[in-house]
Amino acid sequence: MIEVVDGQRQLKGCKRIVVKIGSSLLTANGQGLDLDAISHWAGQIADLHNAGHEIILVSSGAVAEGMVRMKLENRPTDLPSLQACAAIGQMGLIQTWSSVLEKHSIQTAQVLLTHDDLADRRRYLNSCDALQHLIDWHVIPVINENDTVSTDEIRFGDNDTLAAMVAGQVHADLLIILTDQEGMFDSDPRSNPDAKLFHTVRAMDESLFDMAGGGGKFGRGGMLTKVRAARLAAKSGCPTLIASGDSDCVLSRLMTGEMLGTLFITDDDRVTAHQQWLAAHLQTAGRLVIDDGAVKAIKENHRSLLPVGVKAVEGQKTLVIDDDGNVCVHY
């Protein structure tokens, strides 16, 4: 649990940190990558790295860069065009991060992941091992979704969710999501000037969904995806900080405890690593319908599901729900 002492968050114990930076903070209003902005972020990341923190970077911006290179005014809506933009833009994105961090004598590594990579247990564990080796070698992984080979609609794989899944993979102490908003408000600050900023919230608070909105023009995420990401990270015991990337030296200020943004704290009931991996499955290909006795056995007695409790099976992969369609098991 992160405590607040004398008006400052106590984050010194957070050694391994996943930092996600959104498209709006890396591009010139969607017009390609902003080298000055990325150089600025590289300096802040290098400061944390040199201070002994283990940084894993999740970076957006590939599609926006691809749009500029192909002289497209509007973001494509069909999957092949989005994939092509991502392939073109990823070249510039990773090259830029490599060059700016190399100036700080920091090696980087490109890691492209898909949901399938993390849904398959063997591939999930292999990527865990690879990331751990990079961290051990003091290399900063630069992670993005492998949009080019994704068979799902690209909006499915927003990088907020990817960052939360990675935070669980590497057993991160903290997830920082930097965006163009100051944090979590009780209403949309763009339409309500009196909206209140929350400094601390429970990640599993269901009421947060009522306060969230949609995504932006050049990115895929919005506050709704960030709330979901914070909940997913919380299930692996990782708190999340959502803050504005427009604030000066935001990373160093956050790590010194300044009360910027919104901290999504975790509950005490941290799930196992295997349950956390199951929770990261954002799509289901099937479900089980179980009876009331099985619901009670699973939810209240924490027992295994027996075949006698199964009323119906749909699809190949399963999600356990009750007769009313409610999920019985929350990993």
Cβ-contact 11, 252 below 8 angstroms: no
Residues 6+ away with beta carbon under 8 Å from 162: 20, 58, 113, 143, 144, 145
Query: Which has the higher per-residue pLDDT, 17 or 203?
Result: 17
In this structure, are strands 16-21 and 4-5 parallel, antiparallel, or unpaired?
unpaired
> Which residue type does 79 have?
L
pTM for the full predicted model:
0.82
Report which of residues 3 and 199 the model is more confident about: 199
Q: Could you tell me the two tokens for 254? A: 């956050």
Structure tokens at 134: 């990079």
Q: Where are the domains of the chain?
A: 11-276, 284-321
Poorest-confidence range of 44-48, 122-126, 300-304? 300-304
- Tokens (6 digits) for 213: 């909105």
Q: What is the DSSP letter of 27?
A: B
Mean predicted lDDT score pLDDT of the chain: 84
For 52-104, give the DSSP string.
T-EEEEEE--HHHHHHHHTT-SS---SHHHHHHHHHHHHHHHHHHHHHHHHTT
Residues 6+ apart with CB under 8 A from 81: none
Architecture per CATH, 11-276? 3-Layer(aba) Sandwich (3.40)
Q: Is the pLDDT of residue 331 over 50?
A: no
320 pLDDT more than 80: no
Rounded percentage of the chain residues whose pLDDT exceeds 70: 84
State the average pLDDT over residues 69-86: 89
What totals of helices (H) and strands (E) does the chain contain, helices first? 10, 13
